[in-house]
Chains A and B, each alone.
Chain A
Amino acid sequence: MSVLEAHSVTWGVRARKLVHDVSISLRPGEVFGLLGPNGAGKSSLVRLLAGHVAPSSGCLTLDGTPLPSLPVRERAARIGYLPQQFTPHWDYQVQEILRLGLERSLNPHSTSALDHLAVAFDLGHLVGRRWSTLSGGERGRALAAAVLAPEPQVIIADEPAAALDIGQAAALMRRLRDHASRGAAVAVVVHDLNLAGRWCDRIGIMQQGRLLESGAAQSILRGATLDTAFGLAIERVDAADGSLVLAPRI
């Protein structure tokens, strides 16, 4: 059963369609990976799924309710959005950003909720620090903590690992996976094919605003559509532990 469904959604800027007739469904407990070259429409689809823009045609539903009809506050509590880049305009302290994230929760949170959150994301020693003094990895953790604070039912992440090193990226994907195992539906844009293979249950490939193909991760990663979408040959190697390793032939 799906939580968030997009039915034939189309969206664009002026005459240019950035997302064209895309239908996908996000299921609880699953991580759905979105792959595709730059300009394929992944970020635009993510904005639609997060409810930040309304489709020009088609519709989006959350548990059967049309997304635009949900009160903004309820949408904020039920859908968490992890952006590609995040640079606050003011030099907030970590605890201030965590508190703003926690305040989205529909249920009142206890005074110790912030402490629990900081500990869960290994931010206990950083809560009083200002954003400008954090490293890239610390910023990634702080933002993820704020976004995931109210345990949203759906998590939409737009290349959250883009600015992180391999270890931090894997840790972030593991967190998203953990949330999925607790019942959340996760959609994540990824560029690293091996991260996608390791952490995603299903994958969709986008090109020129269209969803070319979607399905079980292993089957999609082994299929030829991936090579077509990126315009290059991708070598696939089965590792000894049974996992699939992908390497583009450049």
Chain B
Amino acid sequence: MPLLLLTVGLLGGVLLGQEALSPASLGALLADPGQPFARILLEWRLPRVLAAGCVGALLALGGAVFQGVFRNPLAEPYLLGSAGGAAVGATIGLLVPLSMPVTVTLPVLAFSGAWGATWLVLLLARTTSVAALLLAGVAVAAVLGAARSFLMLALSDETVSLQAVLAWTLGGVQTPSWRELAVLGGLTIVSFLLCRRLARGLDLLGLGEAVATSFGLEVRSFVRWAVLAGAFVVAVSVTWGGLVGFVGLVAPHLARWRSGPLHAALLPRAALIGAGITMFADGFARAVLPPAEIPLGLVTALVGGPFFLLVLAREAWRT
């Protein structure tokens, strides 16, 4: 299923758009790369689709790590304030005139915000108990949400700026250059390897803290590192894709249904599924209202919302 979803997502992302392509015309374009539309495809649409795939894979990895750490299938990657932190960073980047171009300040500030907010949650929670982390996460998210609203009210004097902030928070992937895509691809691979190292610890944590401890896991330090690793992964995805909801919740679920709960199998599958879903959603976002694009986060929320309810109902039925 993961490879099928990845293929469907990749094809959907490449074929859908302002100018929709049929699989046959895609084949013709690839056979003659000199055509003008083939260049658009290779220099614009394909890098963007691949960037969306990386963002989706990162969200899925972050979601799988946070679900594993909190031992809760409803945990999502933005749980510990990383979304709020990234949004504050992006708001500053978009609304405060700084000496550097916004293409530099926005990702740097969004990344710093996401990463910094998670550090703050860890410091405030003091322990690594699930309840303490969640409470600290909710408190930090609330304060950051208020801070973002204040910044938007205080700093914007043009509607355009507010629209830019709003568009960013609704999620969306910009077309990267091939060099930028290589950086994102590299960070995605690093993130995957980082998460892969957590696999056994996450498996043990799923047995409960007492048994995990007796099976040789240093629960406190492991949870701390896993949260920071998860936050890093989410921060990378937020930096490139804004706040794209539900992928990080849905992809690990689908992977778990098929592969079971062991993270060595779950993580790569979740990443492939997340990539497939996000690539397809990005194509859909470009195709549905041409020439305008609807925000990627809106598409994923439209699909993810009902799925979330399905998961809730399933959990309620199980318990």
Question: Are B216 and A90 in contact, CB atoms less than 8 angstroms apart?
Answer: no
Task: Point out the residues of chain B lying under 8 angstroms from A93, CB to CB.
Answer: 260
Task: Point out the residues of chain A lying under 8 angstroms from B206, CB to CB.
Answer: 88-90, 92
From known contacts A91-B261, A92-B260, infer whether A97 and B216 are also in contact, taking CB-CB under 8 Å: no
Question: Are A147 and B214 in contact, CB atoms less than 8 angstroms apart?
Answer: yes
Question: Are A79 and B207 in contact, CB atoms less than 8 angstroms apart?
Answer: no
Q: Which residue of A lies closest to B266 (CB)?
A: A90
Q: Which of A44-93 contact B (CB under 8 A)?
A: 47, 50, 52, 72-73, 75-77, 79-81, 83, 86-93
Q: Which residue of A lies closest to B318 (CB)?
A: A132
From known contacts A88-B206, A92-B206, infer whether A104 and B211 are also in contact, taking CB-CB under 8 Å: no
Interface residues of A (CB under 8 A from B): 47, 50, 52, 72-73, 75-77, 79-81, 83, 86-93, 96-97, 100-101, 103-104, 132, 147
- When A and B form their complex, what is the total count of cross-chain residue pairs whose Cβ atoms lie within 8 Å? 66
Q: Which residue of A lies closest to B213 (CB)?
A: A52
Chain B, residues 190-224, CB within 8 Å of chain A (1/0): the string is 00000000001001111110110111111000000
Q: Which residue of B lies closest to A53 (CB)?
A: B213
Task: Point out the residues of chain A lying under 8 angstroms from B208, CB to CB.
Answer: 83, 86-89
Q: Which residue of B lies closest to A90 (CB)?
A: B261
Question: Are B215 and A104 in contact, CB atoms less than 8 angstroms apart?
Answer: yes
Question: Are B214 and A77 in contact, CB atoms less than 8 angstroms apart?
Answer: no
Nearest 4 CB-CB pairings of A with B = A76-B216, A90-B261, A81-B214, A89-B71
B262: Cβ under 8 A from any A Cβ: yes
Q: Which of B204, B207, B208 has the most CB of A within 10 A?
A: B207
Question: Are B216 and A83 in contact, CB atoms less than 8 angstroms apart?
Answer: no
Number of B interface residues, CB 8 Å?
22
Interface residues of B (CB under 8 A from A): 71-72, 200, 203-208, 210-211, 213-218, 256, 260-262, 318
Task: From B205, B207, B216, B318, give the contact of A73 (CB < 8 A).
Answer: B216
How distant is B79 from chain A, measured CB to nearest CB, in Å? 16
A88 to B211 alpha-carbon distance, docked (Å): 9
Question: Are A104 and B210 in contact, CB atoms less than 8 angstroms apart?
Answer: no
Question: Given known contacts A96-B203, A96-B261, what 9 new A-B pairs fall within 8 Å (CB)?
Answer: A50-B214, A76-B216, A81-B214, A88-B207, A89-B207, A92-B261, A96-B260, A96-B262, A100-B203
Task: From B205, B210, B218, give the contact of A81 (CB < 8 A).
Answer: B210
How distant is A150 from chain B, measured CB to nearest CB, in Å? 10
How distant is B40 from chain A, measured CB to nearest CB, in Å? 45
A10 to B71 alpha-carbon distance, docked (Å): 32
How distant is B208 from chain A, measured CB to nearest CB, in Å? 7
Task: Point out the residues of chain B lying under 8 angstroms from A132, CB to CB.
Answer: 318
Task: Point out the residues of chain B lying under 8 angstroms from A50, CB to CB.
Answer: 213-214
Task: Point out the residues of chain A lying under 8 angstroms from B210, CB to CB.
Answer: 47, 52, 81, 83
Sample 19 A-B pairs with CB under 8 A, ordered by A number. A52-B214, A72-B216, A73-B216, A75-B216, A76-B214, A77-B216, A80-B214, A81-B210, A81-B213, A83-B214, A86-B208, A88-B208, A89-B205, A89-B207, A90-B256, A92-B206, A92-B207, A92-B262, A101-B215
How distant is B171 from chain A, measured CB to nearest CB, in Å? 29
Task: Point out the residues of chain A lying under 8 angstroms from B216, CB to CB.
Answer: 72-73, 75-77, 104
Question: Are A83 and B211 in contact, CB atoms less than 8 angstroms apart?
Answer: yes
Task: Point out the residues of chain B lying under 8 angstroms from A104, CB to CB.
Answer: 215-216
A96 to B203 alpha-carbon distance, docked (Å): 9
A132 to B211 alpha-carbon distance, docked (Å): 18
